[in-house]
Amino acid sequence: MTDTQKQKIARLRGEGKSSPAIAAALDISVNTVKSYCRRKGLGEVKAQTRLCAHCGAELAGPAKTKPKKFCSDRCRAAWWGAHPEKLRPGKVHAVDCAHCGAAFHSSVSANRKYCSHECYITQRFKGGGAA
């Protein structure tokens, strides 16, 4: 690696560029950029703080993993329940509950019969009729 490349790496890292972006700009290996930055203490660019898409809580997690979108399963289920239009097209089915008659959207199957587990239990085991 030339002295010019070293200076460019330091300048680009100072501008907040990532290792792959620097490697592409200088036409050198990403691992070369990473090892040079590690030796010189230039550090990897930190990702911005991520927030839960539902409640806005700050998300924590290892830097080298896929970033999370939700802080918990409860937030994930609530967000997807409120945004069924975000599911892949053709995967959402409009269905009427066989117990209570409420209209709901099913992303699981067009054959789903009940809007909730409670309606299923009532209809199936307690002999409840349609409301």
The per-residue pLDDT for 31 is: 92
pLDDT tens by residue, 60-104? 766 666 778 888 899 988 988 888 777 766 677 788 888 899 988
The per-residue pLDDT for 131 is: 47
Residues 6+ apart with CB under 8 A from 126: none
The per-residue pLDDT for 74 is: 92
The per-residue pLDDT for 13 is: 86
80 CB burial (10 A radius; 0-12, 13-18, 19+): middle
pLDDT tens by residue, 8-49? 998 888 888 888 889 999 999 999 998 898 888 887 655 556
Across 123-131, average pLDDT = 68
Task: Say whether pLDDT at 129 is over 80.
Answer: no
